[in-house]
Amino acid sequence: MRTLLPRPYITVMLTVMWMMLNNDFGLSSLLLGLFFGWLIPLVMDPILLKRRFPWHPWKLALLLALVTYDIIVSNFHVAKLNLGPVSNLRPAFLEVPIDLQNEIAISVLVSIVSMTPGTLSADLSEDKRTLLVHGLDVDDPNDIIAEIKHRYERRLKEIYPC
């Protein structure tokens, strides 16, 4: 069964996307969407990642909610900083040690840090053990490092096995 339908979640996602993009929710659109949703993963399976991870949708949803909340709160903080005097800014570069070993988890961490206003992932070391982060308002570098490790890295370890 696994070879006939290699990635059922992708099949469902592609079918729904097909129907939404065509703005047609009829039977013909559903059947064509199911066909493409079945064919694309079947053809692409040899080049997709072979290592399948345990699926933790609830933990992923909690991380997504946390990141969304942090982005909203950070937008207001950055807007306040931009409207105030330049002397209030305390920019700094921080070196965040990374304990993650999964490349996807590292990519997600880098993306989260870059998407959150006020921080930017500037560089990732070649051994992927240190992330250089630029912070717009850094009072204590150790607090920012601890926050990144506690809020994001810890949750990514739970979602992606390392």
Domain boundaries, the chain: 8-44, 60-159
- Record the pTM: 0.70
Average pLDDT, the chain: 87
- Using CA atoms, how far residue 106 sits from 67, 110, 111, 159, in Å, is 15, 6, 9, 12
d(CA 119, CA 123): 12
Does the pLDDT value for residue 148 go beyond 70? Answer: yes
Running DSSP on this structure, what letter comes out for residue 86?
Answer: G
* pLDDT (0 to 100) of residue 65: 95
pLDDT band at 147 (very low <50, low <70, confident <90, very high): very high
The pair of three-digit structure tokens given for residue 64, joined into one six-digit string: 């997504």
3-class secondary structure, 19: helix
Beta bridge partners of 104: none
The CATH T-level fold of domain 60-159 is: Alpha-Beta Plaits (3.30.70)
In the three-class reduction of DSSP (H, G, I as helix; E, B as strand; rest coil), residue 9 is classed as helix
H or E element: which one contains 135? Answer: strand 130-135
Give the per-residue pLDDT at 53.
60
Q: How far apart are CA 49 and CA 123, in angstroms?
A: 25
Give me the residue label for tokens 């079947």: 42
Can you spell out the DSSP letters for 23-81? Answer: T--SHHHHHHHHHHHHHHHHHHTTTS---PPPP-HHHHHHHHHHHHHHHHHHHHHHHHH
How high is the pLDDT of residue 115? Answer: 93
d(CA 103, CA 98) in angstroms, rounded, equals: 11
